[in-house]
Amino acid sequence: MRAAVQHRYGPPSVLASSEVGIPSPGRGDVLVQVGAAAVHPGDYFVMTGEPYVVRLVFGLRRPRHGIPGRDLAGVVAAVGKDVTALRPGDEVFGWSTAGTLAEYACVPADNLVPVPANVSVVHAAAVATSALTALQALRKIANVQPGQTVLVTGASGGVGSFAVQIAKALGAEVTGVCSTRNVELVRSLGADHVVDYTETDFTRAEQRYDVILDNVEAQPLAAVRRALTPTGTLIPNSGHGGRWIGPIGRIITARVRSGFTRQHLKPFTSVEERQDLLTLADLLATGQVTPVIDRTYPLDDAADALRHVAAGHTRGKVVITV
C-alpha cells in the first residue's frame, strides 16, 4: 500500500510517499481502507519531535510509528476475530495511534463509529481529535449549562470552529474571537457575537464570561482572566513554551494559580472515549455540528498539508484524501 512515511524527526521534507505492507488486524482490530485523514498541529509536533517532550511518548531517537496521522474515515476492509459490531463494507470514522496517512490503517474497534448517512468521508475524517477536544473541554471540564456565556479564542480554527458549534448545542451564548477575514465564517457557525481581535482586545472590554476556551495563547493567563466572571472557568488549550516542554509550562502555571483564586483554571488533555465519539456522530447527524474544511490534499502531498498546518491561521480542518 502507499503511505506517507518518515524515518527520522524533522520538517515536512522528512515525509516521503512509499510502498509498505498492508497491516493485519489483531483480534480486536479493524482494517480500514482510508478514504480521508485529517492533520492538525499535534501531528506536526510528532513529525518534528518538538517540543522534545513528545519524544518520551513517540520515540526518543526516531518516531516509533513511521506513518504519521491520527484521524481517519473510510470503509471497513476486514475485522479481527473478536469484532462483532462492525463488518466489511461499513463506513466508519475515528482515530488510530498506528498512523492514518496511508491507504489502509489498523484501528481498535472501540476507536471507530459509523459515519452518519448525511456526512461525507472528508467531513467525517475531520472530526475525531479536534471535535473531541472541544466537546470534552466544554461539557466535561467546564460543565457548560444553558444560558451561560462562553468565549472561544481561535474560533475559526480546528478546535475553535467545533467549540463554537458545540457550545451553541449546549445552549450557551457564544462569543468567537478571530481575525477580520474570518468574522463571517464564525458568525455562520452560530456565534452570537464575534470579536475581531485586530480591532478589539477582549481582555480589556467590559464583558465577562462564565467560560473561556483559549485555543491561541495570544494573551498571558493573567490578561485572559480579566475577562472571566469571579467564579468563571478558563481552559487554556494552547501553549508554546519553547523546544523542550512546549505547553506543559503553561499548564503548570495555570494549575498553580488556580489554587489562589475563586476562578477555575483547568488545562486538560482530551481522552479517547467512544461515547464522546458517538455523541459527535449524533451532532453531525442532526446538523448541529458541521466540520469546516480549509483545504484538502492528496496523499502524495502530505508534506504540503503539514506545512500549511504549521503556518497557522487555518480555517477549520486540513484533510488528506486517499
Same domain, 54 and 83: yes
Nearest to 216 by CA among 231, 203, 199, 229: 203
Reading the block at residue 205, the C-alpha cell is 472590554
Note whether 152 and 174 are within 8 A (CB): yes
Residue 273 falls inside a structural domain: no
CATH number at residue 42: 3.90.180.10
- Residues 68, 172, single domain; the answer is no
- Any domain includes 281: no
Same-domain check for residues 133 and 234: yes
CATH of the domain at 196: 3.40.50.720
| pLDDT, block means (10 residues), the chain with 322 residues | 94 94 96 97 86 70 87 98 96 94 97 97 97 96 97 97 98 98 98 97 96 90 93 84 52 57 80 93 98 98 95 93 96
Residue 117 belongs to a domain: yes
Determine contact, residues 144/213, Cβ cutoff 8 Å: no
How far, in Å, are 162, 184, 194, 196 from residue 187 at the CA level? Answer: 13, 5, 7, 11
pLDDT of residue 81: 96
In a domain, 237, yes or no: yes
- The tens digit of pLDDT for each residue in 33-79 reads 999 999 999 888 888 887 677 777 676 778 878 899 999 999 999 99
277 within some domain = no
What pTM was computed for the model?
0.91
Select from 265, 280, 303 the last residue of a domain.
Answer: 265
Count of CB atoms within 10 A of residue 207's CB?
11
* Residue 203 belongs to a domain: yes
Residues 160 and 113 in one domain: no
The pLDDT, as a whole number, for residue 219 is 85
- Residues 6 or more apart whose CB falls under 8 angstroms from that of 319 comprise 36, 37, 38, 39, 122, 125, 126, 293, 295, 296, 297
pLDDT at residue 46, as a whole number: 86
Number of domains in the chain: 2
**Residue 155 domain-assigned?**
yes
Give me the pLDDT at residue 251, please: 57
On whether both 189 and 315 belong to a single domain, the answer is no
Question: In this structure, are 16 and 67 located in the same domain?
Answer: yes
Q: Are residues 136 and 260 in the same domain?
A: yes
All three cell numbers of 217: 495563547
Predicted pLDDT at 50: 78
Is the same domain home to 260 and 307?
Answer: no
pLDDT at 42: 87
Per residue in 79-97, pLDDT (tens digit) is 999 999 999 999 999 999 8
Task: Write down which residue in 249, 265, 281 finishes a domain.
Answer: 265
User: Are 98 and 138 contained in the same domain?
Assistant: no
Asked whether residue 118 falls in the same domain as residue 140, the answer is no
- Region of 263 on the Ramachandran plot (φ > 0 left; ψ -120 to 50 alpha; else beta): beta
The rounded distance, in Å, linking the Cα atoms of 27 and 109 is 10
- The answer on 237 and 186 residing in a single domain is yes
Q: Determine the pLDDT at residue 56.
A: 74
**Quick check: 221 and 267 in contact, CB under 8 A?**
no
In a domain, 158, yes or no: yes
Q: 139 and 119 share a domain?
A: no
Range of the structural domain that residue 79 is part of: 2-127+291-321
Cell of 19: 510502498
